[in-house]
Amino acid sequence: MNGRFLFGMVAIVPAMFLVQTTGSSAVAVINFDRVVAEAPGGRDAIAKLNTFSNEQRTALEKKQKEAQDMQDRLLAQDRVLSEAARAQLIRDLDAAQTSLQTMGEEAQKKILQMEQDLLRPVQLKAENAVRGYAVEHSLKIILDASTLRDGLAYVHDTADITSEIIRRTAMNLDNPASEDKLAQSPIGRIRMNRPWAEIRIARTGSASSEADDSLFSAKRQAE
């Protein structure tokens, strides 16, 4: 609790300082994830990313189970398997683990490419809308509520500009600015929460060192 309160104060102190020194509010809050999700094209892009991510995660979990079953069989039947059967099972296990790693890497690359093709254009337009609003209203800081979350202890309704940025982003999509202007935007990179990109490959095999030692021993004997 103390840690979250301290983080909130760290985020708010610069804003308080600006208000005191300028005599007016120079800080606003935006939920950038909501802006991208509700902007035209954003919702569909995120839906496609989530669908693909879920499909790949299911395929990886299936392959992971296949590899785990092979390893469990190798450990359980080590003493009764023939040398030829043990060697073949080890080769199959190695192939499954290699395939799992390759699948994960290819899925990650595809997700990054889909994000670049589908979502990045919306993000750029949203960033451009934020820049325009900041310039018009002489804002010095715009805090992202989707990143800070509990770090924001209090936000007045008038300080939340999310709905306005959604409106401006939609207008910008209908009447897009040149890509050169977007690329020259002084707004820093805005970090997004990206659940579709969190595809992780679990380590195949038992967590116990005894099981790992047994598998290593079985491989040594088969070589």
Q: Model confidence over 45-70: pLDDT tens digits?
A: 999 999 999 999 999 999 999 999 99
Q: Which residue range forms the structural domain that includes residue 149?
A: 2-222
Q: Domain count for the chain, please give it.
A: 1
Write out the E strands in 83-223.
141-144
Joined tokens for residue 69: 């079953």
Q: How many CA atoms lie within 13 A of 138 on its CB side?
A: 7
pTM for this entry: 0.63
Q: Give pLDDT tens digits along the chain (223 positions).
A: 444 333 333 344 444 444 444 445 588 988 888 998 898 888 899 999 999 999 999 999 999 999 999 999 988 888 888 889 988 989 999 999 999 999 999 999 999 999 889 988 888 888 888 888 888 888 888 888 887 777 777 777 888 899 999 999 888 765 555 544 544 545 445 555 555 555 555 555 443 344 445 444 555 554 5
